[in-house]
Structure 1
Amino acid sequence: MGFSHDDNNNLPLTKFESMLKTNHVLFFDSEEFENIIHHYLNQGKIALAKKAIKLGLDQHPTSINLKLFRVEILVFEDKLTEADNLLNELHSLDPMNEELYIQKANIYSKKDDHAQAIKVLKKALQLTDDVVDLYSLIGMEYLFLDKFEEAKAYFMKCLESDFEDYSALYNIIYCFEFLDQNEEAISYLNMFIDKNPYCEVAWHQLGKQYFILKEYTKALTSFDFAVISDDTFVGAYLERGKTLEKLKRYEEAIENYLITLKLDDPTSYALLRIGHCYEKTDNYDLALQYYDRTVHEDPLLDKGWIAITKFHNARGNYQRALYYINKAINIDSENVVYWKLYSQINHRLNFFEEAERGYEKTLDLGNYELNTWLSRGDLLIKLGEVKTAIHNFEQAIEFYPENAEIEYRLAGLFFFINETDKGTFYLKNGLSHNQEYAFILEELFPKVSNKIMVKNLLKTNL
Structure 2
Amino acid sequence: MRENPYHEDREELQALLRQYQNLKTGRSHAFIEEDDFDRIIDHYDETDDFAEALMAAESGLEQFPYSSHLMIRKADVLLALRKYHEALETLENAELYDSTDINLFILKTDVYLALDQQDKAVEILVAALEQFEGEERLELLFELADVYDDYEEFDKVFDCLKLILEEDPNNEEALYKICFWTDFTGRNEEGIQLHQKIIDEFPYNEIAWFNLAAAYQGLKLYEKAIDAYQYAIVIEEKFDYAYRNMGDAYLRLRKYKEAIEALEKVLELSRPEDVIYEAIGHCYHRMGNFAQARFNYKKATHLNPDDSRLQYKVAVTYMLEEQWQQATKHLENAMRIHRAVADFNLAMGECMMHLNRIKEAIQYFGNVVRNKPKNQAGWEALIRCLIKADYLEEALEHCLLAITATVNKPIFIFYYSATLFQLGKSKEGLLQLEKGMEIAPKHLKKFIELNPSILQNNQVVDLVARYKKGRKG
Corresponding position of 1:220: 226
Shift of 1:303: 5.1
Equivalence for 1:405:
411
Asked whether the 8 Å contact 1:377–1:393 carries over to 2, the reply is no
Deviations 1:367-390 (A, max 9, x none): 954333443466578663887776
Is 1:319 matched up with 2:325?
yes
Q: Is 1:150 matched with 2:156?
A: yes
Cα distance in structure 2, aligned partners of 1:33 and 1:377: 80
Identity of aligned residues (%): 20
Preserved contact between residue 374 and residue 405 of structure 2 (Cα < 8 Å): no
1:304-352 Cα distance to aligned partner (Å, 9 max, x none):
3343222212111122122112212223446554444334444444544
Q: Does 1:73 align with 2:73?
A: no
- Asked if 1:185 is matched to 2:191, the reply is yes
- 2:244–2:262 CA contact under 8 A, matched in 1: yes
Match of 1:122 among 113, 117, 126: 126
Q: 1:90 — aligned with what?
A: 90
Asked if structure 2 preserves the Cα contact closer than 8 Å seen for 1:277 and 1:287, the reply is: yes
Paired with 1:353 and 1:249, the residues of 2 have a C-alpha distance of 43
Q: How many residues align?
A: 410
> 3-state SS of the aligned residue for 2:169?
coil
**Equivalent runs, 1:267-346 vs 2, <5 Å:** 267-278=273-284, 285-302=291-308, 304-333=310-339, 335=341, 337-346=343-352
CA distance in 1, matches of 2:77, 2:299: 50
C-alpha contact (below 8 Å) 2:110/2:121 kept by paired residues? no
Of residues 173-182 and 383-392 in structure 1, the stretch that sits farther from structure 2 once superposed is: 383-392
Q: 1:408 to 1:26 in 2, by over 3 A?
A: farther
Pairwise CA RMSD: 4.8
Normalised by the size of structure 1, how large is the TM-score?
0.69
**Judging changes above 3 Å, is the alpha-carbon distance between structure 1 residues 249 and 331 closer, same or farther for their aligned structure 2 residues?**
same
Are 2:406 and 1:396 equivalent residues in the alignment? Answer: yes
Equivalent residue letter for 2:54? L
Summarize the alignment of residues 415-454 of structure 1 with structure 2, pairs less than 5 Å apart. 433-434=439-440
Residues 83 and 349 of structure 1, relative CA distance in 2, 3 Å threshold: farther
Look up the SS of the partner of 2:406 in the other structure.
helix
Q: How far apart in 2 are the matches of 1:214 and 1:166?
A: 25
Q: Is the 8 A contact 1:253 1:277 kept in 2?
A: yes
Identify the range of structure 1 (206-215 vs 195-204) with the bigger mean alpha-carbon deviation.
206-215
1:31 Cα deviation from its structure 2 partner: 2.2
2:99 aligned with 1:102, yes or no? no
> Matched residues in 2 for 1:341 and 1:18: separation?
74
Give secondary structure in 2 for the equivalent of 1:151: helix
What amino acid does structure 2 have at the position aligned with 1:317? Q
- Pick from 205, 209, 215 the counterpart of residue 203 of structure 1: 209
**Residue aligning to 1:57:** 54
* Among candidates 364, 370, 395, match of residue 376 of structure 2: 370
Relative to structure 1, the CA distance from residue 279 to residue 434 in structure 2 (aligned partners, 3 Å threshold; closer, same or farther) is closer
Deviations 1:68-118 (A, max 9, x none): 4435535xxxxxxx443333332442345213322124325xx4x644543
Deviation at 1:297, TM superposition (A): 1.7
* Structure-2 separation of matches of 1:367 and 1:165: 55
- 1:44 aligned partner: none
Q: Does the C-alpha gap of structure 1 residues 143 and 69 become closer, same or farther in structure 2, counting only changes over 3 Å? A: closer
**1:451 maps to what in 2?**
none
* Structure 1 residue 242 displacement after superposition: 3.4
Q: Cα deviations across residues 156-188 of structure 1 (Å, max 9, x unaligned)? A: 112234434444334434444345443332222
Larger Rg: 2
Preserved contact between residue 380 and residue 386 of structure 1 (Cα < 8 Å): no
TM-superposition CA deviations, 1:124-180 (whole Å, max 9, x none): 435654122332233344445554443322111122344344443344344443454
1:288-310 CA-partner distances (Å, limit 9, x unpaired): 33332221122234553343222
Distance change (3 Å), C-alpha of 1:369 and 1:144: farther
Which stretch of the first structure deviates more once superposed, 245-254 or 83-92? 245-254
For normalisation by structure 2, the TM-score amounts to 0.67
Give SS of 2:80's match: helix
- Work out the CA distance in 2 between the residues paired with 1:65 and 1:366: 62
Any conservation in 1 of the 2:179–2:214 contact (CA below 8 Å)?
no
> 2: CA distance between counterparts of 1:345 and 1:94?
77
**Residue pair 1:98, 1:127 contacting (<8 A) in 2 also:** no
Contact kept in structure 1, 2:229 and 2:242, CA below 8 Å:
yes
In structure 2, the CA distance between the partners of 1:379 and 1:227, relative to structure 1 (3 Å rule), is same
Whether 2:43 is the aligned partner of 1:31: answer no
CA distance in 2 between partners of 1:232 and 1:436 (Å): 52
Provide closer, same or farther for how the CA distance between residues 413 and 282 of structure 1 changes in structure 2, counting only shifts above 3 A.
closer
8 Å Cα contact 2:76/2:87 also seen in 1: no
User: Residue 174 of structure 2 is aligned with which of 162, 168, 176?
Assistant: 168
Taking structure 1 as reference, are residues 336 and 228 closer, same or farther at Cα in structure 2, changes over 3 Å only? farther
Distance (Å, rounded) in 2 between the aligned partners of 1:17 and 1:240: 55
Which letter maps to 1:272?
Answer: E
Which whole-Å CA distance do the structure 1 matches of 2:445 and 2:376 have between them? 18
Does the C-alpha gap of structure 1 residues 409 and 133 become closer, same or farther in structure 2, counting only changes over 3 Å? farther
